[in-house]
Structure 1
Amino acid sequence: MTSETGNARAAEMTSDTMTSGRRNGASPGAGWGVVLLAHGSQRGNHTIDGLRDMVRRLQSHLGEDNAKVRMACMEFIQPDLPKAVAGLVADGCTDITVMPFLLGQGTHSTEDLAEGMERSLEADPHIRIKATAVFGADPALVEIVRQRVQAQVSQRNGSAGSITTGTTDAPMGVMLVKAGTRSQAEDHLWLYEMGRMLEEQLGAGFAVAVAQSHFGPPTMEEAAADLVERQGAASVTCVPYIFFPGLILTRNIIGGVKTLERKYPGVGFAVTPTLGVDDGLVELTAQRILDAAYD
């Protein structure tokens, strides 16, 4: 499938199928199912364990009597979206909300999502199915990242209090690194917006640059050059902007930081934990689901 075809199909699903279930103004009730649709991972148990935890907490947040929440993945981990939807249908659900558990736009949020929803409708044409948007540049996620940076800097400073940057002449660098994708350049616009919002929230004394873990620009090398060579940062806190630990974290992000440490031996580098199943992330995910369901 070409990118243009996938985008056209996704747009069609957005204007018709993704919204048709709510045109009568009905709110979710009996028969409401929710699918948390993640990317998936072929290495380790962190992803599947984290997704199960997120599903459990979403189920508790939305209420056992109000919704049935299931997990699905686009790659590597079963069930896929059509199988998860079929399971909900077997449990009596006819009104399905899909939450793409994805941080930004790309092929998975257009072509793959549209195809999975079409397959679900072909198998069960009587159901109503719609999808929320991906997270994108959201203030709630910016706040989660800001807290990660604050915790790391406080640990470095030996204090659990507020962030101190020392001198405004040497800003504290922050590198926000998302998982690498082969998407078009415009699919990274949300990442630059996240970086801008994060720098604004951190305030004076901080410099933020964004990067991909691999697959091309913006690269970690380019981000480090911006922070260290252009802006004069003496330390860089790297924030892995991914949900769970895995090969991308260990090989690409931490491996990339080690390369940068050799290139800039006078700069102090540190890496924060991944996003994980953060309370704020659970709240944001639940709100996105409810907003879409009641739209």
Structure 2
Amino acid sequence: MTGLLLFAHGARDPNWARPFQAVADRVRAARPGVPVELAFLEFMAPDIATAGRSLADAGCTAVAVVPLFLGAGGHVRKDLPVLVEQLRAHHPQATWTLSPAVGELDPVIDAMARAAEAFLPHTP
């Protein structure tokens, strides 16, 4: 079984997590048979170790780890690979695949450009 681990930074303000929770909810609705966990680097729960354990305990043998970051800064380039290696060490029965930051993917860049453009006045 394949699972999805969405990974976001985290913040002290609980409202900050709403868009990320919406992403998780939409994936769950679109793919009801796929276990989906949302994890945070700091300030919020669950952390990646807890979310990863939940997916492994659910019987996932393959997990896609998707960073919900706009770019690959230090957390995505340095911290996250270490955390994924820890998941691999603690749950060797599963394959943990780290994807690029979603903000670097063309469909996301296109969506952000369209959203920004929508704020411009319409011209004839």
| Superposition TM-score, scaled by structure 2 size | 0.86
Q: Greater CA radius of gyration, 1 or 2?
A: 1
Among candidates 37, 53, 56, match of residue 89 of structure 1: 56
Give the alignment of 1:1-295 within 5 angstroms: 31-43=1-13, 45-61=14-30, 63-65=31-33, 67-154=34-121, 162-163=122-123
Give the CA RMSD over aligned residues. 1.8
How far apart, in 1, do the equivalents of 2:64 and 2:104 lie?
Answer: 21
Percent identity (aligned): 23
SS in 2 for 1:40: coil
- C-alpha contact (below 8 Å) 2:5/2:52 kept by paired residues: yes
Aligned to 1:252: none
| Superposition TM-score, scaled by structure 1 size | 0.39
How far apart, in 1, do the equivalents of 2:39 and 2:9 lie?
Answer: 8
SS in 2 for 1:104: coil
Question: What CA deviation, in whole Å up to 9, does each residue of 1:14-41 have, x standing for no partner?
Answer: xxxxxxxxxxxxxxxxx21100101111
SS in 2 for 1:116: helix
- C-alpha contact (below 8 Å) 2:63/2:96 kept by paired residues: yes
- C-alpha contact (below 8 Å) 1:32/1:95 kept by paired residues: yes
Unpaired runs of at least 5, structure 2: none
How far apart, in 2, do the equivalents of 1:92 and 1:46 lie?
Answer: 31
Quickly say closer, same or farther: Cα 1:163–1:105, change in 2 above 3 A.
farther
